[in-house]
Structure 1
């Protein structure tokens, strides 16, 4: 599952800081040696969480179901080295490796950054709003005072008219109900408890129009300048740029 990360290296971001954590999980790479602890866990994300929660762990390797060594499948090996980096990196099908997320301010219960693709959290709706992608839906959930988790219907949703719908949800009594294998939906959690969360959102969405709500229009060279103009205009919240492929040549 993909993870959300905010890059605030350009103008308009509230926070321009370097993230000390590294969230990527490397499929097919083994961090050989440097072992400090080994256990059997369900998947690589739990292995990553175990490394994060173990004060000594700096990185880890998880053996997947695809490994030829059947007796080692689902083995999570936590690792530590004085220099903080693996002493050996090898290509090995059937394993996944990564680093502790302690510097991300992430813990297993308070901050869940992963997005679950083709997974629905049915019911518990507070409200529905429109969002151009699942990451922005997560941002809306994070900034809503009551939202705990969400389900987003992607641009490929074709069951009915509700594509781009972002359902904000709350259930103070329990975790969300999980419905697997529902195509073209993405679900996830609020990032309120994540110490690294930034409200900056830099994504530009090719081929999407935000129709209506216009209050100013003028010509600029490209979408990045349009984004900057919106950032510098106190009243602007979002924008649409008509590029060279737009059907109305007068509005390109």
Structure 2
């Protein structure tokens, strides 16, 4: 299975520009083996810490995030967890946690991109499939996802999969805290 992610959609691009003055400087530091305690907004599932940071950046109130990769736990319900967080002080207490990755929203940084062209081979993310069609390649499936405002990621079943050439477009499956 190939899975990739595409641009997140917003009603107006100006929304991002309105957030920039809230924070004074661009903070790109990533904190390895660190969990930000408190400030929980919501939890989503993402394939990487970088994508978690993108989701945080484009969330209206997220300023910080913590990501737990697949290697962090054997519990499949907690793998790839991306915790979106907020704080009045723009920082939260840091707790040592092996494998956790935390960081800041990039709202205050210039030239933010919400697109992730990465393709993740063999990764099956949680999501709500809203369309299944046939496609000749993962690139064709990726293009369909990019051109559909509802689509947040896609799955393309390669020739090694029993439903080869299926293109599945999906929405995030969000979990409330």
Give TM-score scaled by structure 2 length. 0.70
The alpha carbon displacement at 1:178 in A equals 1.7
Q: Partners of 1:249 and 1:199 in 2: how far apart?
A: 30
Q: Given the alignment, which residue of 78, 81, 96 partners 1:162?
A: 78
Go from structure 1 to structure 2 and tell me whether the alpha carbon gap of 1:179 and 1:230 turns closer, same or farther (over 3 Å shift): same
Q: What root-mean-square deviation, in Å, do the aligned CA atoms of Structure 1 and Structure 2 show?
A: 2.5
Distance between the aligned counterparts of 1:187 and 1:241, measured in 2? Answer: 30
Change (3 A) 1:230 1:137: same
Q: Residue 132 in 1 paired to residue 38 in 2?
A: no
Q: Tell me if the contact between 1:149 and 1:189 (Cα under 8 Å) persists in the aligned partners.
A: yes
2:99 counterpart of 1:179: no
1:176 Cα shift? 1.9
SS at match of 1:175: coil
Shift of residue 211, structure 1, vs aligned partner? 5.0
Q: Which residue of 2 aligns with 1:146?
A: 61
Report if aligned partners of 1:210, 1:239 keep a CA contact under 8 Å in 2: no
| Cα separation, 2, equivalents of 1:150 and 1:211 | 19
Structure 2: state its 5+ residue gaps: 1-5, 9-23, 167-177
1:167 Cα shift? Answer: 0.9
Match for residue 239 of structure 1 among 154, 167, 170:
154
Bigger relative contact order, structure 1 or 2 (CA pairs below 8 A, ≥6 apart): 2
In structure 2, do the counterparts of structure 1 residues 238 and 116 end up closer, same or farther at CA, with 3 Å as the change threshold? Answer: same
How many residue pairs were aligned? 145
Post-superposition Cα deviations, 1:151-192, rounded to whole Å, max 9, x if no partner, equal 011011216441111111112136221223x22211000000
2:119 counterpart SS class: coil
Larger Rg belongs to: 1
Q: 1:110 deviation in Å?
A: 1.6
Partner of 2:118: 203
Q: Measure how far apart 1:138 and its partner are.
A: 0.6
Q: Does 1:224 align with 2:139?
A: yes
2 CA distance for matches of 1:114 and 1:135? 12
Report the CA distance between 1:141 and its aligned residue.
1.0
TM-score (norm 1): 0.51
| Alignment gaps of 5+ in structure 1 | 1-11, 15-108
The structure richer in strand per residue is: 2
